[in-house]
């Protein structure tokens, strides 16, 4: 009986040691996977953005070029990545890696295949990519129970609301679009809004995110219409 019990204890100890050894490998592999997936996603979306910029696609579905050529969709994806990260530092790294993958795919194809080098656009989006680690680190803090977290969580929604309004009502090229394009654009921004709300931690934060985002958006739009601040969609280059 003692020998049988002794062998059982030894086996249990060995199994526990094996579990501990095996547990270290998946943990590091999971961290690496968390870093690599945003890069792969960035490459895929960068390629899609490039194809929506094509002449044939622009002719039949111009609204997709408007969506992929604005800041909103990239803010949406980067915010989702940051919020779903386990730590703020990881949120900063993953959002930055995502932008790097997207820009490499989009402008890599532009330069290597189309033999065109859009210097001003590359500089603009390169600057945006350099800011994304700070933005990802900041957005992650919506998990905190504080007043500033409510303000932080409203920032992506501010961009969604402001961008939709400026695209539909102030961008000159939009006048050539159809009612179908307006509907699709509205649906796209609604999808951005509700999917991001779904990952905001609490109902209270969701409510404050929408209210603050809407309020700040109205203020920004009024300042732009009064020409107190610059309309970014008239002065800045799209992707």
Cβ contact 58:135 at 8 Å: no
pLDDT in tens, 176-227: 567 777 888 889 999 999 999 999 988 888 999 999 999 999 999 999 988 8
pLDDT tens for each residue of 109-140: 889 888 888 888 888 889 999 999 999 999 99
d(CA 208, CA 8): 57
pLDDT value for 148: 84
What is the full DSSP assignment across 30-75?
A: HHHHHHHHHHHHHHHHHHHHHHHTSHHHHHH-HHHHHHHTSSHHHH
Q: State pLDDT tens for residues 68-78.
A: 888 899 999 99
Domain locations in the chain? 22-235
Q: Which residue has the tokens 């990545």?
A: 81
Structure tokens that stand for 147 in this block: 């007043």
Phi, psi of 220 (to 5 degrees): -60, -45
Q: Which parts of the chain are beta strand (E)?
A: none
Q: How far apart are CA 2 and CA 165, in angstroms?
A: 79
Please enumerate in sequence order all residues whose Cβ is within 8 A of that of 34, keeping only pairs 6 or more positions apart, or say none.
85, 86, 90, 94
């Amino acid at each position: 009986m003692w020998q049988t019990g002794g062998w059982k204890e030894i086996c249990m100890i060995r199994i526990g040691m094996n579990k501990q050894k095996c547990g270290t490998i998946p943990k590091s592999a999971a961290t690496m996977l968390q870093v690599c997936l945003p890069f792969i996603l960035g490459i895929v979306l960068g390629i899609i953005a490039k194809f929506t910029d094509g002449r044939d696609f622009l002719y039949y579905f111009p609204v997709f070029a408007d969506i992929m050529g604005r800041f909103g969709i990239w803010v949406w994806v980067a915010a989702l990545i940051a919020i779903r990260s386990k730590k703020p530092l990881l949120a900063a790294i993953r959002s930055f890696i995502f932008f790097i993958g997207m820009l490499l795919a989009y402008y890599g194809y532009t330069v290597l295949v189309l033999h065109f080098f859009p210097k001003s656009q590359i500089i603009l989006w390169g600057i945006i990519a350099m800011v994304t680690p700070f933005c990802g680190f900041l957005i992650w803090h919506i998990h905190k129970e504080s007043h500033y977290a409510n303000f932080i969580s409203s920032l992506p929604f501010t961009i969604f609301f402001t961008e939709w309004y400026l695209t539909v009502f102030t961008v000159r090229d939009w006048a050539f679009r159809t009612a179908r394009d307006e509907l699709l654009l509205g649906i796209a921004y609604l999808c951005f809004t509700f999917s991001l709300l779904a990952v905001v931690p609490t109902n209270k934060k969701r409510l404050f995110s929408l209210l603050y985002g809407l309020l700040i958006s109205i203020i920004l739009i009024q300042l732009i219409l009064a020409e107190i601040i610059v309309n970014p969609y008239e002065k800045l280059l799209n992707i």
